[in-house]
Each structure stands twice: as structure tokens, then as C-alpha cells.
Amino acid sequence: MRANLRRILWSLLGLFALAAGFVIWQIGPRNIVGLLFYDQRREVQLKVGDAFPDVALEKLDGGEEMLSKTVGERPLVIVFGSFT
């Protein structure tokens, strides 16, 4: 009886290890590390109704421009993002 129980537990443990291995393989080991240690999210302070923070932005073709130059004439949608 105890031997059977041990065998079942070892089987479950093996299945769990296989499932964990599959997940790590799918996501990528470095991404697991990245998810754990490279989370750059910040608590957002900016609220609806607040004045927009004016910031200096680089242009793709060089040079710098303040965001305020784009704000005011029409409503502005800002999409923040990156490639990866």
C-alpha cells in the first residue's frame, strides 16, 4: 500500500517536472529570468485630468523636440511601446 502511494507520488512529481520543463522551454529560460528580474513597470502617478508632463523627445532623423509642440491644436493619442 505504501509502496503504491510512493509510486503515485513519484509519478505526479515526474509529470509536474515535465510540465514545468515544457513551459520553460516554450517561454525560454532567459525570459523566465527576465520576467522575474527585468520588470520595469512603475506605479503610475499621472491621472485623468492632470496636465500632461512635457518632455524632450528625440526625433528619428536626429534633433530634439518638446512634446508640447505636438499638444494643443488637436487631441493627441500617444502610443508608448517598443519592438520586443
Q: Summarize as ranges the residues that interact with another protein (CB under 8 A).
A: 26-28, 30-31, 33-35, 37-38, 40-53, 55-60, 62, 64-65, 67-68, 70-84
Closest separation in Å from C-beta 10 to another protein: 31
Give the chain's end-to-end CA distance (angstroms, integer).
53
Contact 65/57 with Cβ under 8 angstroms? yes
Closest separation in Å from C-beta 53 to another protein: 4
How far apart CA 23 and CA 57 sit, in angstroms, is 39
Closest separation in Å from C-beta 72 to another protein: 6
